[in-house]
A = this chain, B = another copy of it.
Amino acid sequence: MAELTDKARALIDAPNLAFLATVDPDGSPQVSPVWIDRDGDTIRVNTAEGRVKDRNMRRQPRVALSIADRDDLYTKVDIRGRVAAIVDEPEAREHINTLNRKYHDTDELYPERPGEQRVIFLIEPQRVS
């Protein structure tokens, strides 16, 4: 596991979207914006079970993230990482509420959708550039 840089920590701690890349079963890349935070230098991504990125990360734990400052898109960091662990509800439900507060600056809970199971992917950075 690599250490995050101070710049990377600051970009993660602010409400910036991260663009998470995973790999499809046929080897094609997939990328979409996600909410993130961190526990020390472990990056936490929250998604719902069954989504493309959820299925991709369970099969292929190597991922990449690119994060740009929402107010200055030329301040950015690119990270290669590896899924180290997967955490289910109830912790994953608490975590999406934490992210909802971070990104929407509200105390409201993240909406619960019928049948949706939240899941946290804990990602260890391996290269930060």
Of listed A22, A27, A64, A78, residue having the most chain B CB within 10 A: A64
Bound form: Cα–Cα A65–B31 in Å? 6
Bound form: Cα–Cα A44–B23 in Å? 22
Which residues of B sit under 8 angstroms from A78, Cβ to Cβ?
30-32
Contact of A23 among B29, B32, B70, B80 (CB under 8 A): B29
Copies of this chain, count: 2
Instruction: State the majority secondary structure of interface residues on A.
Output: strand
Docked-complex contact A28 and B80, CB < 8 angstroms: yes
Bound form: Cα–Cα A77–B67 in Å? 17
5 CB-based A-B contacts, threshold 8 Å: A17-B73, A19-B31, A21-B31, A27-B62, A31-B66
